[in-house]
């Protein structure tokens, strides 16, 4: 049994905090778009992937409150996410998608 007091948690953060998060997201987006114009060479793919994951995690953790909420929610969401990544990456590999 989980404890009953989990509902009394504080909901997220202050308005200023949310605005800061949004500014960070905007900055990463600007950086992402810049890869389209500036040649990142071998760092192109890894940096895009890292920025995508960073944005994803920030929105999920702060805007969707996963960081502050009960861990069950994170488990449910990330189980679905990793299951999706697992099966679809495996399926695409059988098409030799990542060999190119």
Partner 1 sequence: MAIIERPSTTAPAVLPTVPSAAFGALKRPVTVSSGWRSWLFTVDHKKLGIMYGAVAMFFFIVGGLEAVLIRLQLAAPDGKVLNADLYNQMFTMHATTMVFLFVMPMASAFANYFLPLQIGARDVAFPRINAFGFWAFLFGGIFINMSWFLGGAADGGWFMYAPNSGPIYSPSHGVDFWALGLQITGIASLTGAVNLIVTVLNMRAPGMSLMRMPIFTWMITVVQFLLLFAMPVITVALFLLMFQRNFDATFFDVAAGADPLLWQHLFWIFGHPEVYILILPSFGIISEVLPVFSRKPLFGYPFVVFSGAAIGFVGWGVWAHHMFASGLGPVSVAVFSVATMAIAVPTGVKVVNWTMTIWGGKLSFPVAMKFALGLVILFTIGGLSGVTHSVAPSDTQQTDTYYIVAHFHYVLFGGAIFGLFSGFYYWWPKVFGKMLSERLGNWNFWLMVIGMNMTFAPMHILGLQGQPRRMYVWTEARAGEGFFNLGFWNLVASIGSLILAVGVLFFLINIFVTARKGKQAPADPWDARSLEWMTSNPPKEHNFDSIPTVGHLDEFFHRKYSESESGQLTQVKSGEEVILDLEKNADAHIHMPSPSYWPIVLALSLPVIAFGLIYSIPVAMVGGAIALLGCYGWALEPSTATDDEIDPPSSGQGKEMVHVG
Partner 2 sequence: MAETATHEHAAHHTSTGLSNNKLGMWLFLGSECLLFGGLISTYMLYRGRVGTGPTPSQVFDIPFTSVSSFVLLMSSLTMVLAVSAAHNKDDRATTLWLTITALLGATFVGGQVYEFTAMYNEGLGFSTSLFASSFYTLTGFHGVHVTVGIIMLMSLVGILNKSKVPGSRAETVEMIGLYWHFVDVVWIVIFTLIYLIPV
Residues that bind partner 2 (CB under 8 A): 1-7, 11-12, 15, 18-19, 21-22, 25-26, 29, 32-33, 35-36, 45, 48-49, 51-52, 55-56, 59-60, 62-64, 70, 72-73, 76-81, 83-85, 87-88, 91-92, 95, 97
Among 43, 49, 80, 89, binds partner 1 (CB under 8 A): 80
Residue 38 C-beta: closest distance to partner 1, Å: 34
For residue 94, the partner it binds in partner 1, partner 2, none, with Cβ less than 5 to 8 A by kind, is partner 1
Longest Cα separation, the chain? 54
Q: What are phi and psi of 12, to 5 degrees?
A: 65, -135
Q: Which residues contact 10 (CB under 8 A, 6 or more apart)?
A: 68
Backbone φ/ψ region at 23: left (φ over 0), alpha (ψ -120 to 50), beta: alpha
């Amino acid at each position: 049994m989980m404890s009953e007091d989990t509902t009394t948690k504080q909901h997220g953060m202050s308005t200023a905090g949310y605005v800061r998060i949004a500014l960070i997201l905007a900055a990463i987006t600007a950086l992402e778009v810049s890869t389209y114009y500036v040649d990142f060479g071998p760092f192109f793919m890894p940096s895009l992937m890292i920025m995508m994951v960073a944005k994803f995690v920030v929105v999920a953790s702060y805007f969707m409150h996963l960081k502050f909420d009960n861990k069950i929610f994170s488990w449910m969401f990330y189980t679905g996410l990793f299951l999706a990544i697992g099966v679809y990456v495996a399926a695409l590999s059988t098409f030799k998608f990542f060999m190119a």
